[in-house]
Structure 1
Amino acid sequence: MDKNLISRHISGQFNVELENIRTHALAMGGLVEQQLGDAMRALEKKDMSRAQKVSQRDHKVNAMEVAIDEACTRIIAKRQPTASDLRLVMSIVKVITDLERIGDVANSIALMVQRTDYSKPRIDVALTPLAELAVKMLHQVLDAFARMDVMAAIRLYHFDKEINQAYKVIEDSLVSCMMQHSERVPQALEMMWAARAIERVGDRCQNICEYIIYFVKGKDIRHCGSQNLEKLLDL
């Protein structure tokens, strides 16, 4: 990230505290990315061992969110940050919330893999294309967050449309399956839930794009719609 985006202070300790919470948020993002990728591979490969490891690591994601949130609270109480410093702290608080929820998606999918009986016939609907898009978007949005890259954030904000389209294809296929094979409705509904959970990862990544723009530009673009984004930011 451009160091000029973080204000420099007479108090060197304040500078260290701001850099530490940013570094820890990026570390949490790396762990969540690993969790999501492993959960998707476990789903694709029917890998029980990998799924179990995802579930076992979920507590680390939760612990990191709590620790970073507490550090942000201490900074607000002790340093009373203003302007860009406050935007940075608030952006990190919001980012780690979305990261924790993506971690919950990874754990839920891992648990679904563990309870699935793969000896029985399964519905032939692939979630892999959707999963690959979600993992790709998460990786790129974390990179944009590391650099506080507004242009990358805007591009990724629009990328969510691809995830929505991939989800719609799966949704239509599963609805068709349920209409033709009523005995497979429970299985189809479970897959529908998994697809929806993966689609929501894209929405979480979109949120992180909004926080990047908020920190750098000082503008809250929530609820503005993607069509007006460039105009709102004078780009």
Structure 2
Amino acid sequence: MSGDKPRRVRGQAQEPDEAAQVEAYLRAHPGFLAERPSLYRTLLPPRRVHGERLADHMAAMLEAERARGAELRATLEELVAHGRHNAANQARAHKAVLALMAARSAAEALDIIVQDWPDLLGLDVVSVCAEGRAVLGARPLARGTIARLLPNGSPFALRSRATDQEALYGEAAALVASDALARLTLASGGEALLACGSRDPGHFEARQATDLVSFLAAAAAVALGRG
């Protein structure tokens, strides 16, 4: 009959009007975009401003871009500050190794590391620890301590929360919140450790590079191996 409504063919789905659905949803939820300002970065602004609501829409998009720009500037400033910090640490490490080169014996090298390196490196305490008699005059450690602190033969550990402070730093233990540990590869083959401690909990952390610690440990191992 001519008055009958057209029937949908079974299995043939009608195409949804997505634009109409989106528009209906936004009309029903007028605060949707205001609660999700990051979406403005993906939207195209209207070509012309007609009325207060469109002006607000464009202002929101501009504000989202300003926020993004501020975030990028903050990230850039952080990177620059990090680079300056690394450069300062490299200069400190070079001065510490130059001072160590003046040592004429292992005993003098140990004195320079323990007494001079804290100031030169901007730390609170630097200690040389050894198991047995691997390094004469070093702070003694119980057998197996280094393997426990540096498991699986690891050469380094940068720790934001130090442990074993009494064993590693003795009377200066209370000054250490974070530290860097480096295994010393001695010509004698003994087990020894360079421990660098700071009262700042964030001075050392696992994400940091270990190149400077490696450099200092290598220089210390050579100097402490002298006769």
TM-score, normalised to structure 2, is: 0.25
Higher helix share: 1
Larger relative contact order (Cα-Cα within 8 Å, sequence gap ≥ 6): 1
TM-score, normalised to structure 1, is: 0.25
Higher strand share: 2
